[in-house]
Amino acid sequence: MARLSLSKIEKVYPNGFKAVHGVDLEVKDGEFMVFVGPSGCAKSTLLRMIAGLESITGGELRIGDRPVNALPPKQRGIAMVFQNYALYPHMKVYDNLAFGLKLAGTPKAELDQRVRHAAALLEMEHLLDRYPKQLSGGQAQRVAVGRAIVKKPDVFLFDEPLSNLDAKLRAAMRVRLTELHRTLRDSHQPATTIYVTHDQVEAMTMGERICVLKDGVIQQVDTPTALYDRPANAFVAGFIGSPEMNLLAARLVGTDGIGGAPLAVEVGGVRLPLPADKAAGLGGLPRIADGAVTFGLRPEHIGIVARAQGDSVAAPARLRFTEHMGSELYLHADLGPLPVTARVPAEQASALAGLSRGDALTLHLQMSACHLFDATSGVNLLSHAGASASSPASSTGSAPGSMPSSPRASQGFFA
Ligand SMILES: Nc1ncnc2c1ncn2[C@@H]1O[C@H](COP(=O)(O)OP(=O)(O)OP(=O)(O)O)[C@@H](O)[C@H]1O
Ligand SMILES: [Mg+2]
How do residues 239-269 score in pLDDT, each as one tens digit?
Answer: 999 999 999 999 988 876 666 667 899 999 9
195 has pLDDT over 50: yes
Distance 362 CA to ligand 2 centre (A): 43
pLDDT of residue 299: 97
Number of the ligand 1 atom closest to the C-alpha atom of 42 = 18
| Percent of the chain whose pLDDT exceeds 70 | 89
pLDDT of residue 96: 96
pLDDT of residue 167: 87
Mutation probe of ligand 1 site: the residue of 9, 23, 36, 43 with most atoms within 8 A of C-beta: 43
Distance 34 CA to ligand 1 centre (A): 17
35-92 pLDDT tens trace: 999 999 999 999 999 999 999 999 999 999 999 999 999 999 999 998 877 899 999 9
Number of the ligand 1 atom closest to the C-alpha atom of 196 = 22
Q: Which residue minimizes the CA distance to atom 22 of ligand 1? A: 44
Which ligand is closest in space to the CA of residue 48? 1
321-364 pLDDT tens trace: 999 999 999 999 999 999 999 999 999 988 888 899 999 999 99
Number of the ligand 1 atom closest to the C-alpha atom of 198 = 25
Distance 170 CA to ligand 2 centre (A): 17
Which ligand is closest in space to the CA of residue 41? 1
| Percent of the chain whose pLDDT exceeds 90 | 71
pLDDT of residue 33: 98
147-168 pLDDT tens trace: 999 999 999 999 999 888 888 8
Which ligand is closest in space to the CA of residue 43? 1
pLDDT of residue 1: 59
Work out the pLDDT band at 406, boundaries 50, 70, 90. very low
Distance 48 CA to ligand 2 centre (A): 10
282 has pLDDT over 60: yes
Number of the ligand 1 atom closest to the C-alpha atom of 48 = 18
Distance 39 CA to ligand 2 centre (A): 7
pLDDT of residue 351: 86
pLDDT of residue 279: 85
Work out the pLDDT band at 384, boundaries 50, 70, 90. low
Distance 43 CA to ligand 2 centre (A): 6
Q: Which residue minimizes the CA distance to atom 14 of ligand 1? A: 42
411 has pLDDT over 50: no
Average pLDDT over residues 23-37: 97
146 has pLDDT over 90: yes
Work out the pLDDT band at 280, boundaries 50, 70, 90. confident
Average pLDDT over residues 284-292: 69
| Three-state helix/strand/coil letters over the chain | CCCEEEEEEEEECCCCCEEEEEEEEEECCCCEEEEECCCCCCHHHHHHHHHCCCCCCEEEEEECCEECCCCCHHHCCEEEECCCCCCCCCCCHHHHHHHHHHHCCCCHHHHHHHHHHHHHHCCCHHHCCCCHHHCCHHHHHHHHHHHHHHCCCCEEEEECCCCCCCHHHHHHHHHHHHHHHHHHHHCCCCCEEEEEECCHHHHHHHCCEEEEEECCEEEEEECHHHHHHCCCEHHHHHHCCCCCCEEEEEEEEEECCCCCCEEEEEECCEEEECCHHHHHHHHCCCCCHHHEEEEEECHHHEECCCCCCCCEEEEEEEEEEEEECCCEEEEEEEECCEEEEEEEEHHHHHHHCCCCCCCEEEEEEEHHHCEEEECCCCEECCCCCCCCCCCCCCCCCCCCCCCCCCCCCCCCCCC
* Torsion of Cα atoms, 387 then 393 then 395 then 401, to 10°: 50
> Residue 197: which of 215, 210, 184 has the closest Cα?
210
Average pLDDT over residues 399-405: 38
Work out the pLDDT band at 399, boundaries 50, 70, 90. very low
373 has pLDDT over 90: yes
Q: Whole-prediction pTM value?
A: 0.89
Residues with a CB atom less than 6 Å from ligand 1: 13, 15, 17, 19, 37, 39-45, 198
286 has pLDDT over 90: no
407 has pLDDT over 60: no
Domains of the chain in start order, with CATH, are 4-229 (3.40.50.300), 234-396 (2.40.50.100)
Q: In terms of pLDDT, which residue wins out, 193 or 284? A: 193
Contact status, residue 149 vs residue 122, Cβ threshold 8 Å: yes
206 has pLDDT over 90: yes
Work out the pLDDT band at 389, boundaries 50, 70, 90. very low
Exposure pattern of 192-216 as b/e (b: 16+ CB <10 Å)?
bbbbbbbbbebbbebbbbbbbbbbb
Q: Which residue minimizes the CA distance to atom 1 of ligand 1? A: 13
124-141 pLDDT tens trace: 999 999 999 999 888 998
285 has pLDDT over 80: no
Which ligand is closest in space to the CA of residue 35? 1
Average pLDDT, the chain: 88
303 has pLDDT over 70: yes
